[in-house]
Amino acid sequence: MSRERARRTQAQATAARLKAQEDLARHWRDWHSTPHGRDAIAALMIEFNIYTQSPGSDPHVALREKGQRDVLLRIVQLVGLRPEHFVDTAWEDTDSVENYTRNH
């Protein structure tokens, strides 16, 4: 395979990965824009301690919590939220989850 052909193939693969990431982000944004999606992500933000960090000393628990936060931060990135969103919506997310819990 020539160098030029290899570069084209690599560029096409990169473009396909970027398109897939854009599609994935759009799907997450579409879901987040629904009441159920918003509530579900809010519940994850609370459950996975996005607003606070637990003061655990067990390294296994700490590693699991870090993994949970990393996954959630990826979702947050795909949805297009910013760190200031966490400050603005912490109470709103908590209220949303509490209301959902009470009603189900």
- 19: in domain: no
pTM: 0.67
Q: How does DSSP classify residue 104? A: -
- Residue 5: inside a domain: no
Residue 11 lies in a domain: no
Q: Which DSSP symbol is given to 51? A: S
**How far is it, in rounded angstroms, from Cα 96 to Cα 98?**
6
- Residue 30 belongs to what domain range? 26-103
Q: What is the DSSP letter of 87?
A: H
pLDDT band at 18; cut points 50, 70, 90: very high
Number of domains in the chain: 1
Residue 98 predicted with pLDDT over 70: no
Please say if the pLDDT value at position 44 is more than 80: yes
Given a cut of 90, is residue 17 above it in pLDDT? yes
Residue 9 lies in a domain: no
77 domain residue, yes or no: yes
Residue 17: inside a domain:
no
- Distance, in Å, from the CA atom of 78 to the CA atom of 72, rounded to the nearest integer, reads 10
Q: What average pLDDT is seen over the chain?
A: 82
Query: Could you give the residue ranges of the DSSP H alpha helices within 1-104?
Result: 3-32, 35-47, 59-79, 83-103
Average pLDDT over residues 90-104: 66
